[in-house]
């Protein structure tokens, strides 16, 4: 039964790897619309904020790049979600594998 679970987990991990390979350009952060004069909501601009290597960064994004940046941010979120799932499965796989060894030693 556990060996079947291990096989199933391996298949899930392989599927995650395939999905990760298909992710295109990505970058972390959040994109927000800011205003030079917030009270009047005039002179708007886009701002990308993120933390990388423990340093906060802010970049101004031209309107023609907003769609592309949003897509890259979504790809990054998908990547993070997939890697988190991969880690969960890897932990489960390791525990099950140790259970198999433990059972063999008890016999």
pTM of the predicted structure, to 2 decimals: 0.85
What is the residue extent of each domain of the chain? 2-106
pLDDT, tens digit, for every residue of 2-58? 778 899 999 999 999 999 999 999 999 999 999 999 899 889 999 999 999 999 999
pLDDT, tens digit, for every residue of 70-99? 999 999 999 999 999 999 999 999 999 998
Spatial strand order of the sheet with 55-61 comes to 30-37, 42-52, 55-61
Task: Report angle CA 92, 82, 61 to the nearest 5 degrees.
Answer: 155
Using the CB atoms, write b or e for 10-44: b if 16+ within 10 Å. Answer: eebeeebeeeeeeeeeeebbebeeeeeeeeeeeee
Q: Contact 57/92 with Cβ under 8 angstroms?
A: no
């Amino acid at each position: 039964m556990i060996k079947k679970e291990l096989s199933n987990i391996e298949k899930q991990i392989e599927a995650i790897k395939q999905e990760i390979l298909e992710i295109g350009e990505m970058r972390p952060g959040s994109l927000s619309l800011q205003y030079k004069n917030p009270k009047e909501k005039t002179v708007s601009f886009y701002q990308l904020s993120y933390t990388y290597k423990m340093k906060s960064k802010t970049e101004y994004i031209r309107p023609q790049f907003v769609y592309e940046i949003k897509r890259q941010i979504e790809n990054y979120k998908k990547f993070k979600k997939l890697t988190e799932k991969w880690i969960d499965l890897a932990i489960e796989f390791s525990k099950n594998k140790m259970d198999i060894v433990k059972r063999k030693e008890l016999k």
